[in-house]
Structure 1
Amino acid sequence: MTAIPQGRTRRAALVTAICACAVTGTAVLSGCDGDPDAGTNGVGKLPAATIQAKTRAAAQGAPAVRLSGTVVTSGRTYQLDMRLKADGGTGSVTSKGATFKLLRVGKQLYLKADADFWNQAGGNDGGEGAGGKLNGKYVKVPQDDPAYKKFSGFTDKDVLLDGLLTLHGALATDGHHDDAGTPTIRITGDKGSGGTLDVSLQGQPYPLRLVRAGGAGTLSFSDWGKDFTVAGPAKGETVDYGRQLPTS
Structure 2
Amino acid sequence: MTAMPRGRTRRTSLVTAIGALAATAAMVLSGCGGADDPDAGTNGVGKLPAARIQSKSRAAADAAPAVRLSGTVVTSGRTYELDMRLKTGGGTGSVTSQGATFKLLRVGRQLYLKADSDFWNHAGGHDGATGKLDGKYVKVPQGDPAYKKFSGFTDKAVLLDGLLTLHGALATDGHHDQSGTPTIRITGDKGAGGTLEVSLRGEPYPLRLERAGGAGTLRFSDWGRDFSVAEPAGSDTVDYGRQLPTS
- Under TM normalisation by the shorter chain, which class is it? 0.7 to 0.9
Cα distance in 1 for residues equivalent to 2:171 and 2:96: 33
Given candidates 75, 78, 82, the residue that maps to 2:77 is 75
Q: CA deviation at 1:131?
A: 2.1
Q: CA deviation at 1:31?
A: 2.2
What TM-score results when the alignment is normalised by the length of structure 2? 0.85
> CA 1:212–1:38 in structure 2 vs 1: closer, same or farther (change >3 Å)?
same
Map of 1:23 onto structure 2:
none
- Asked if structure 1 preserves the Cα contact closer than 8 Å seen for 2:124 and 2:246, the reply is no
Map of 1:230 onto structure 2:
229
Map of 1:105 onto structure 2:
107
Task: For 1:47, give the aligned amino acid.
Answer: P
Find the structure with the greater CA-based Rg.
Answer: 2
- Asked if structure 1 preserves the Cα contact closer than 8 Å seen for 2:195 and 2:210, the reply is yes
Q: CA deviation at 1:109?
A: 0.3
Query: Identity across aligned pairs (percent)?
Result: 83
- Asked if structure 1 preserves the Cα contact closer than 8 Å seen for 2:196 and 2:206, the reply is yes
The count of aligned residue pairs is 219
Map of 1:43 onto structure 2:
45
Cα distance in 2 for residues equivalent to 1:115 and 1:162: 33
Whether 2:125 is the aligned partner of 1:146: answer no
SS of the residue corresponding to residue 83 of structure 2 reads strand
Cα distance in 2 for residues equivalent to 1:199 and 1:52: 8
Map of 2:57 onto structure 1:
55
- Asked if structure 2 preserves the Cα contact closer than 8 Å seen for 1:70 and 1:217, the reply is yes
Comparing 111-120 with 45-54, greater Cα deviation is found at 111-120
Task: For 2:72, give the aligned amino acid.
Answer: T
Give a deviation string over 1:118-153, Cα, whole Å, max 9, x none: 12212453xxx3221111100000110010001000
Give a deviation string over 1:158-201, Cα, whole Å, max 9, x none: 11001100000000000000000000000000000000000000
Task: For 2:210, give the aligned amino acid.
Answer: V
Cα distance in 1 for residues equivalent to 2:57 and 2:150: 25
Cα distance in 1 for residues equivalent to 2:161 and 2:194: 15
Cα distance in 2 for residues equivalent to 1:246 and 1:174: 46
Q: CA deviation at 1:244?
A: 2.4
Q: CA deviation at 1:242?
A: 4.2
Map of 1:157 onto structure 2:
156
SS of the residue corresponding to residue 123 of structure 2 reads helix
- Asked if structure 2 preserves the Cα contact closer than 8 Å seen for 1:92 and 1:99, the reply is yes
Map of 2:120 onto structure 1:
118
Cα distance in 2 for residues equivalent to 1:59 and 1:247: 33
> CA 1:123–1:229 in structure 2 vs 1: closer, same or farther (change >3 Å)?
closer
What TM-score results when the alignment is normalised by the length of structure 1? 0.85
* Deviation >3 Å, runs of 4+: none
Whether 2:30 is the aligned partner of 1:31: answer no
Map of 1:26 onto structure 2:
none
Give a deviation string over 1:76-124, Cα, whole Å, max 9, x none: 0000000000000000000000000000000000000001111221245
Q: CA RMSD of the aligned region, Å?
A: 1.6
Give a deviation string over 1:200-241, Cα, whole Å, max 9, x none: 000000000000000000000000000000001011111122
- Asked if structure 2 preserves the Cα contact closer than 8 Å seen for 1:66 and 1:83, the reply is yes
- Asked if structure 2 preserves the Cα contact closer than 8 Å seen for 1:119 and 1:130, the reply is no
Cα distance in 1 for residues equivalent to 2:159 and 2:122: 28
Map 1:182-201 onto structure 2 (within 5 A). 182-201=181-200
Consecutive unaligned residues of structure 2, counting only runs of 5 or more, are 1-9, 12-24
